[in-house]
Structure 1
Amino acid sequence: MKRNKISILIFILFFSSISIAQVDPEIRLGARGVMSVNNDIINNSLSSAINDFSDSGFLLGFKQKLYNDFRGLFVLGFQFPDAESDLGQIFFHQIFLQIEDKNNIFKLGRSRVKSSLIEFTTLRDDDALQLTDVISPYSNGINTEDNQFGNVFEYSHIFKQRYWLTIHGEHFTKSKISPETDFSMNALGFSLEYRVPLSQRWNREIIQQIGFSFNNFLTESEGYSNKFNKTLKNYIFSAVFNLLPDPVYFLDFRMQSILNTGTEGIASVSGFSDLARAKSVSVFGGPRFLYRRLERPYLQASIYGGYKSYPDLVEKTSQLQLVTNFFYRLGENFDVGIQYQYKKNIGEVAKIYPNNEHRIQFSIVYSIEQVWNKHFDDRESILNLEHGYIK
């Protein structure tokens, strides 16, 4: 009898240890260091920054197996903002909870807003912000993060692992109001995208990604008959095409166009808010070459150009930008690179930004992701939350 009790006790302890092991969370640590030496020529005046470490950041994620086929995720992350921002030394850009299964994703918290559909392989994600992202009318223009991060509620449904339908409600930071006391939803919209899964990209289909997005800012404007008409609406169309179907020498072309319907009555620009509310049309894109040796990214070169016009302003107003770069991988996720940018601002936009700007950057970038108690697939690496250029 005593032996049976001991056997039962051992049996219980054994299966208890198994159940404990099964509910242990998967832990992911992600970090990215971005260092660059910047040399600028702004309106024929030379300036430099010996060490720009903005956008360096840290991410910590916990993923948990839930009942049925669902899994839960908690992510906490911060990064170092631009030196001229008023966000302080550290900015918490990722704080959210997510529940997902094979075909559904629910996200609630602070994260990347739907101001852009694709990534361009620039050194930092805000290098061409005026042309690559929907611009927030609630921002005072000091912080680029105002246009990229906010409090979000998102639901995505994935059809056949390739078609993504996302409905989102967002709160963009109202940095032009100090202090901010209203954190209600001030933007909403949806997006529909076709994405080739990462595991299938070796097939090198011509269309790698194509998408459409509608973004609606719930602004208050005078002279409109109903709420929908007085909101500020933006439409995004994006695409990534494979130009060379080769598993070693990757050549693709990526582009994105944004139509901002604007607010009536804005004929001139006196500040950043007017620029965000003025009607505008932008297009940005170009080719990228990536060489993979032994199934690992080795070097990458890209050249992008873009143009943005403001047709309703009294004075002819436009923005022109060129970005070209080259990155070389020294070792596992450790890269060196050089990037050149040229910006030209014409008309009303020159009241806010310099007429001409040249920038040359020499950079070193290191990315790392470490996983403990690995239980799940890598459909979304934690570093995918950060901007990347060699993929």
Structure 2
Amino acid sequence: MKQKSLFIVVLATAIGWSGSTQALEVDREVMPRVTIGGRLITTIDSDYEASGEPGINMGDSSLSVAFDKRLFGNGVAGAVLGIKENEGNVAFHQMHVFYWNQDLEMKAGRTDLPNTLVEFPLVRDHDITSMTHVGNGSSNDEYDQLWGEVFSADWVLDQKAQKLGIWAGTRRNTFAGAPDGFDSYGLGYRYEPSEKYMYLNRIRHAGIILDAQKDRAGSNPYFHSIVAGGEINLSTDPRRNWSMAVQGIVNSGVSGVTLADLNDGTNAVSNRARAKSSALVAAIRFTDRPHLLTRLQAGLTVGYKTYDAGGTEMSIVPSLLYRIGQGVDVVAQYRNTQYSDGLSAVDSTNLVQVGLTFSLGAKYNDSIGERDSITNQEHGYIR
């Protein structure tokens, strides 16, 4: 009996010692919040002065999904994957990780280049890219003017609306001898009140950005751009709202870019991004929101750009949107662009677009307070 009792004591001690030395952390898997957002834009385009035949345009259609979790200490971290239609192909335009808390927002990976401040009432964000965005001097692909690999950090100065940010990134370089690593840097200040005050505050948003990118060739290692702009409410009636947006871009450019370079059939896009230039875009927007539900938006956008090497371009873009259901809009837009001083082989171009857009947004396992919506990563053609 004593031997049996002794055996039990020894066995219990051995089990206890083994458990204390080999204790494993309990892995309590917490499911992330999942947010899905997307938009399909289909328009019938007619550029009657060029081809004379209308065609289907699905450009700017996208689908994104975000996963995020609250951290043990403070803040939220997650990742975003997004695909977008790009000239008949599917490309990742969002593939990044992020972190945010009350004072800081960080992002690293493929995402929007921080090269513009204002979303104008245009059906697509690339409708007049040369005037609304700082161009990529190392690529002629339209896609590369808008997205790239970016590391950014924004300090929320008052935990509300004012942000001071810095960023470093890589614009895609399609030319021989492309540099490795970061080739673009920037810093900026933005004032962005919460969307719930969009129609109530006099200032919707405003800011200034300094952008520097490495030149693919030439004597100047970098060229610089300054972007400044914002949008104000002309009326503060949330049911019938008038607003005005203005943005200017001054590009220091590089030396040696000629008018012939601006008309180069192969490299015109990148050469115009490298050229010394100034651009100004302004827009008036009217939004009708009976019962505080957006039903109609009408906008008029005017852009003007001049190049020191010679040549100017001016675009006038009226647009109309009518909401026929939640997230379902009928859109129409006309774009006229005038060229002068030999900037283009033609004096003007005209484009008529009529179509339908379908937007979606869904959240699963939502337990996190929202700072920014996943749909805000796409062009806000309606505000």
Query: Who wins on radius of gyration, i.e. which is larger?
Result: 2
Q: 1-side partners of 2:198 and 2:163: how far apart?
A: 17
- How big is each residue's C-alpha offset from its partner over 1:106-142, in whole Å with a ceiling of 9 and x where there is no partner? 1000000011112112111000111101111001x2x
Look up the match of 1:102: 102
- How big is each residue's C-alpha offset from its partner over 1:70-98, in whole Å with a ceiling of 9 and x where there is no partner? 11121001011135xxxxx1111000000
Contact 1:269 1:348 in 2 (8 A): no
Instruction: Tell me whether 1:322 sits opposite 2:320 in the alignment.
Output: no
Instruction: Tell me whether 1:196 sits opposite 2:193 in the alignment.
Output: yes
Counterpart AA for 2:39:
R
Q: 1-side partners of 2:271 and 2:198: how far apart?
A: 42
Q: 1-side partners of 2:219 and 2:317: how far apart?
A: 40
Look up the match of 1:8: none
Look up the match of 1:11: none
Contact 2:306 2:313 in 1 (8 A): yes
1:20: how far off? 4.9
Deviating beyond 3 angstroms after TM superposition, the runs of 4 or more aligned structure 1 residues are 180-183, 220-224
Instruction: Tell me whether 1:62 sits opposite 2:61 in the alignment.
Output: no
The correspondence of residues 85-124 of structure 1 with structure 2, limited to 5 A, is 89-124=89-124
- Secondary structure at 2:284 match in 1: strand
1:348: how far off? 4.5
* RMSD (Å), alpha carbons: 1.8
Look up the match of 1:345: 339
Instruction: Tell me whether 1:157 sits opposite 2:155 in the alignment.
Output: yes
- Secondary structure at 1:130 match in 2: helix
Instruction: Tell me whether 1:370 sits opposite 2:362 in the alignment.
Output: yes
Q: Percent identity?
A: 24
Instruction: Tell me whether 1:48 sits opposite 2:51 in the alignment.
Output: no
1:144: how far off? 1.2
1:389: how far off? 1.6
1:198: how far off? 1.4
- Secondary structure at 1:253 match in 2: strand
Contact 1:146 1:175 in 2 (8 A): no
Alignment CA distance shift 1:256-1:20 (3 Å): same
Instruction: Tell me whether 1:218 sits opposite 2:209 in the alignment.
Output: no
Q: 1-side partners of 2:218 and 2:99: how far apart?
A: 40
Counterpart AA for 1:169:
A
Q: Among residues 344, 347, 363, which one is paired with 1:355 in the alignment?
A: 347
Matched positions, count: 350
Q: 1-side partners of 2:244 and 2:45: how far apart?
A: 27
Give structure 1 stretches of 5+ with no counterpart.
1-18, 84-88, 225-229
Look up the match of 1:126: 126
Alignment CA distance shift 1:341-1:211 (3 Å): same
Q: 2-side partners of 1:128 and 1:94: how far apart?
A: 22
The correspondence of residues 164-203 of structure 1 with structure 2, limited to 5 A, is 164-177=163-176, 182-202=179-199
Contact 1:269 1:275 in 2 (8 A): no
The correspondence of residues 142-291 of structure 1 with structure 2, limited to 5 A, is 143-160=141-158, 161-177=160-176, 182-202=179-199, 204-219=200-215, 222-223=218-219, 230-270=221-261, 271=264, 272=268, 273-291=270-288
Contact 1:310 1:317 in 2 (8 A): yes
1:213: how far off? 0.4
Contact 2:69 2:77 in 1 (8 A): yes
1:42: how far off? 3.1
Q: 2-side partners of 1:130 and 1:47: how far apart?
A: 25
